[in-house]
A and B are shown apart, each in its own frame.
Chain A
Amino acid sequence: MKTRPRQLHAFLLVPLAAVLLAPLVPTASALPRQRPANPRGVADPRGIADPRGIADPRGIADPRGIADPRGIADPRGIADPRGIADPRGVFDPRGPFDPRNPARYMYALPATYTMRAFGGINYYYCSGTYYYVYYINGQPVYTRATIVNGVPTVPPRPM
């Protein structure tokens, strides 16, 4: 008879402990983006459903969006002028200075440029295109040269 109330008391301790410890249990607010290890932070506008994952190197300012078919391993970067419809794939060795669509002018040369002289004038040769340098507003502007009889000629200033 003495053991019965003691058993009942021990039985009641279980729900009591559950009630007392409930606030300590992690709550549903621990969604993926609130995890401390998530480097994107809660202000990341991409949302938790973004399939690119936190290791996506393109950053939150990437305008290409999650539907970009090139995938997160695309090394070309957001400044790539070829556009997302480019079918050549990310490992195309021809690079953004593709001769099929060369820039009319640019402010810097790619690392692979070479200098070639024609008629005493130096041109900068990049991926099949010749550029001539002007200084405009204190800055070099490499301007696409037109080819006449197989030789580059000085182009008109672009601006």
Chain B
Amino acid sequence: MHTPPLPLRVLLATMLGLLAPAAAPAQISPEARAVADAVSKKLSAAPTVAVTARHRISPGLHIGAAGGSTPIELTVQRPNRFHAIQNAGPETRELAYDGRSLCLLYPKLGHHAIEPLRADSIEEFADRALERFGFRPPVAELLANDVAAQLFRDADSARVFAGESVGWTRCDRLHIEQQGLTGDLWVGAKDRLPRRFRLTFTDQPGNPTWDIRLSNWKLGAPVDEALFSKRPPAGSQRAPLFKSR
């Protein structure tokens, strides 16, 4: 088979590259950018953040690590410490991350997993947990140090619908679209705190949703630092932690 000489191949590759359609820039409206930046500024300025998340998952949508529908208490200490606990009776589970190791605990079932995992920020922790162990910590996007960057990552478009409510709180709804997924984030019009986050899986039959209500925000409040390095009680069995093949 005849192969063109190297300069010709380089020229051909360059021309083909010029002819190929460039990736379309994300259509993010200035209002959407402003809302996301306001949330980001508000949350990143707090050295500690605590919030309660209640979520509801459409039947048929399997999100393994989501667990049951009981509330999850989340606590973050900047830049890279994360704790979550879901009190669900015998199925009570806990996630503790101190920047160096990740510990998942089911204290009432007597087992846990612990693995070394280094990260310098909440977003890096979430990305590495997904890459190595196949899950993201709950609502890590909203607790990240740069919320706007997390929200608009892989986004095709974003816009804002003003004048909606979550409970008694007036909100702006930030609507973000990307391939196979849309996200709607309701942000308090006055305090700029997220109140509701709904993910719609548009590439799945029936467009199932994962709907998360956020309440009881505490910014900058003192937190128990021992939470982030929590370890299992004596007698708990260590289990291997994997990502599915």
Report which A residues bind B (CB closer than 8 A): 107-109, 111, 115, 121-122, 133-140, 157, 159
A-B contact sample (15 more), CB < 8 A, given A122-B111, A137-B134, A138-B64: A107-B64, A109-B109, A111-B90, A133-B111, A133-B239, A134-B239, A135-B239, A136-B242, A136-B243, A137-B65, A137-B135, A137-B244, A138-B65, A138-B133, A140-B239
Q: A108-B91, A122-B237 are in contact. Are A136 and B244 (CB under 8 A)?
A: yes
Cross-chain contact A138 with B135 (CB below 8 angstroms): yes
- Shortest Cβ gap from B178 to chain A (Å): 22
Q: Compute how far the CA of A135 lies from the CA of B237 in the bound complex, rounded to whole angstroms.
A: 12
Q: A108-B91, A122-B237 are in contact. Are A136 and B110 (CB under 8 A)?
A: no
**Which residue of the partner chain, among A109, A111, A139, A157, contacts B135 with CB atoms under 8 Å?**
A139
Closest to A137 in B: B134
B residues in contact with A159, CB < 8 Å? 244-245
A residues in contact with B241, CB < 8 Å? 135, 138
- Shortest Cβ gap from A112 to chain B (Å): 12
- Shortest Cβ gap from B127 to chain A (Å): 14
Q: Compute how far the CA of A52 lies from the CA of B91 in the bound complex, rounded to whole angstroms.
A: 35
Q: Compute how far the CA of A109 lies from the CA of B89 in the bound complex, rounded to whole angstroms.
A: 13
Cross-chain contact B242 with A122 (CB below 8 angstroms): no
B residues in contact with A136, CB < 8 Å? 64, 134, 242-244
Say yes or no: is B158 at the interface (Cβ < 8 Å to chain A). Answer: no
Q: A122-B110, A140-B109, A159-B244 are in contact. Are A135 and B104 (CB under 8 A)?
A: yes
Q: Compute how far the CA of A111 lies from the CA of B91 in the bound complex, rounded to whole angstroms.
A: 11
Q: Compute how far the CA of A115 lies from the CA of B235 in the bound complex, rounded to whole angstroms.
A: 12
Cross-chain contact B109 with A137 (CB below 8 angstroms): no
19 residue pairs from A and B, CB less than 8 Å apart:
A108-B91, A121-B237, A122-B111, A134-B240, A135-B104, A135-B239, A135-B242, A136-B134, A136-B242, A136-B244, A137-B65, A137-B134, A137-B135, A137-B244, A138-B104, A138-B135, A140-B239, A157-B242, A159-B245
B residues in contact with A137, CB < 8 Å? 64-65, 133-135, 242-244
Total interface residues on B, using CB and 8 Å?
A: 23
Q: Compute how far the CA of A109 lies from the CA of B111 in the bound complex, rounded to whole angstroms.
A: 13
| Closest CB pairs A-B (n = 10) | A138-B135, A138-B65, A137-B134, A139-B64, A135-B113, A122-B237, A135-B241, A133-B239, A159-B244, A137-B64
A residues in contact with B106, CB < 8 Å? 140
- Shortest Cβ gap from B90 to chain A (Å): 8
- Shortest Cβ gap from A76 to chain B (Å): 19
Q: Compute how far the CA of A133 lies from the CA of B112 in the bound complex, rounded to whole angstroms.
A: 9
Q: Compute how far the CA of A108 lies from the CA of B90 in the bound complex, rounded to whole angstroms.
A: 10
A residues in contact with B245, CB < 8 Å? 159
